[in-house]
Amino acid sequence: MDFKYVRENEEKSILEKQKKVDSDFWRQKYHIQGIVGLINDPNGFSQFNEKYHMFYQWNPLKTDHTAKYWAHSTSVDLLHWKREKTALRPETEYTKNGVYSGSALIIDEKLYLFYTGNVKDDEGNRSSYQCIAISQDGKNFKRIEPVIINQPDGYTRHIRDPKVWEKDGTYYMVLGIQSSDLKGKTVLYSSENIYDWKFEGEIAGAYKGKLKEFGFMWECPDYFQLKDEKTDKMTDILLFSPQGLKPEGDLYNNKYQSGYFLGKLNYEKPEFIIESDFIEIDRGHDFYAPQTMVDNKGRRLIIGWMGVPEEEDYPTIENEWLHCLTLPRQLKFMDGKLYQLPIEEMNTIRGEKTEFLSEVKGEREVGKGLIYELKAEFTNIGSNFGLKLRVGKNCETVLRFDYNEKKFTLDRSHNRQSDKSLRKVYLGDIDKLELTVFVDNSSIEIFINNGKEVFSSRIFPDKDGNGITVFSENSINAKIEKWEWK
């Protein structure tokens, strides 16, 4: 393969397409997105040299998954991102068919990236390599390839997405993998020096412990601990993206899911002892492959890909770009589940504020806006009610609470994307509903009751879609606060 061609083709594609991409009405303002082409999984989320670093899967050539690079952006506040030069390209013997996802770790004041190299032969047979890239300045990387070659016995070569951490002087790595009988799993490796890795064993997966059938592949595993906000007890969390789950009512309605198990990681056995059901971390249409990190403030932060594999029929393809990442969130653990909270930095981009406080019956317009943060509090609940956002002549995004079903629904069916399906979550009997909503040019992120439930979805309204409406079948008390984003 002519690796010089990789760089030249990348530069040519950017020059040809960037003007068309930049002119698109649906380009985001506060979300990481590719300068052209497709992006997907967040990679290498870290804080190094006083900056937040976000790497992400990128195809600069097309709006599909035929090429995989690591693009790179940095920020001092998690909101204003500067595009850096491309970090990793598929231009080596061990990555020639793609630089797949992975993570980052700071070791001895150097930034280490861990990633999967994907290689296919002329017959399409795959080889997988776990690799390392090291940087002293956070911009230029020396690649060490590979440190793990292919898979242990009993598994296919679908092994990828290393997440690495250090504990008591030993480095550990979890990888998503597929067993020989085509079941999704997570395996654990260890290293004393970061370069030589030992296979410890399978820690979780279909037919492991009490778990039964649970998908044909587990992607992007992430292991971490969080302290319960109420009890101070530490809880182990295994976050991952299983493929192959069948829909169950309001659950698992995307092509592929993201969620977590609570439990305890036994390093000696090894095994992640599952102590909960699988909990979907996001209820929206577009959330996959999330990655977490701890910053210098001690916060466990999370960012996801605002997309899902094989659910990609979005209108921005016509303008040579596709997908973005979510806004960063802070994770907290209480009441037996993860809560996601908007980061405090969101307050710094609040512009002009408008308020509405009234009793509403029927439908009432309460404002206008394209890019904003909105807080809504509803009390005196006794019937169906909700909000309509980005309302235009032929478009709207509806946030509705069904009083009889006790469910919250996100309805984006009156927008330009082809998928018109609803997303729902059961809230039960409530006497108050609090929503924090972030709306960008082509996305909505909804935090319900202080982040107990979250919906992330792309929306594609018309250019006149700027109305904000409150509706209720019976009288309801509504308090609305809205901030335009600076």
pLDDT in tens, 146-197: 999 999 999 999 999 999 999 999 999 999 999 999 999 999 999 999 999 9
Q: How far is it, in rounded angstroms, from Cα 418 to Cα 436? A: 26
431 is catalytic: no
- The sign of the dihedral angle between the CA atoms of 256, 257, 258, 261 is negative
Locus of tokens 């980061």: 343
Reported in sequence order, the residue ranges of 78-125 that DSSP labels E, i.e. its strands, are: 82-83, 99-107, 110-120
pTM of the model: 0.97
pLDDT in tens, 249-294: 999 999 999 999 999 999 999 999 999 999 999 999 999 999 999 9
Phi first, then psi, for residue 417 (nearest 5°) are: -70, 155
Q: How far is it, in rounded angstroms, from Cα 75 to Cα 61? A: 25
Domain spans, the chain: 3-14+31-344, 347-485
Instruction: Find how far residue 372's CA is from the centre of its chain.
Output: 21
417 is written with which tokens? 């994307």
46 is written with which tokens? 């870290």
136-142 — which CB contacts under 8 Å span 24+ positions?
Answer: 136/109, 136/110, 136/111, 137/49, 138/48, 138/49, 138/51, 138/53, 138/74, 138/111, 139/72, 139/84, 139/85, 141/87, 141/88, 141/113
Q: How far is it, in rounded angstroms, from Cα 247 to Cα 314? A: 22
Amino acid residing at 98 = G
Q: Residue 2 has what pLDDT?
A: 62
Contact present, 419 and 458 (Cβ < 8 Å): no
Burial 146-174 (b: 16+ CB within 10 A, else e): bbbeebeeebbbbbbbbbbbeeeeebbbb
Q: What is the DSSP letter of 405?
A: T
Counting every residue written for the chain, the total comes to 486
Best CATH choice for the domain 3-14+31-344 from the list 2.115.10.20, 3.40.50.9100, 3.30.1490.100, 3.40.50.720: 2.115.10.20
In the set 2, 41, 228, 431, the catalytic residue is 41
Q: Which residues contact 131 (CB under 8 A, 6 or more apart)?
A: 94, 95, 114, 115, 116, 117, 143, 144, 145, 146, 147
**Ranges under pLDDT 50 in the chain:** none
Q: Residue 1 has what pLDDT?
A: 53
**CATH superfamily assigned to domain 347-485:** Exo-inulinase; domain 1 (2.60.120.560)
pLDDT in tens, 31-43: 999 999 999 999 9
> How many other CB atoms are there within 10 angstroms of residue 438's CB atom?
21
Amino acid residing at 320 = E
Indicate the Cα dihedral angle 346, 237, 227, 194, nearest 10°.
-90
Amino acid residing at 270 = P
Contact present, 381 and 403 (Cβ < 8 Å): yes
Q: Which of 181, 168, 165, 88 is nearest to 129 (CA)?
A: 88
Instruction: Find how far residue 393's CA is from the centre of its chain.
Output: 32
C-alpha separations of 4 from 159, 280, 386 in Å: 28, 42, 55
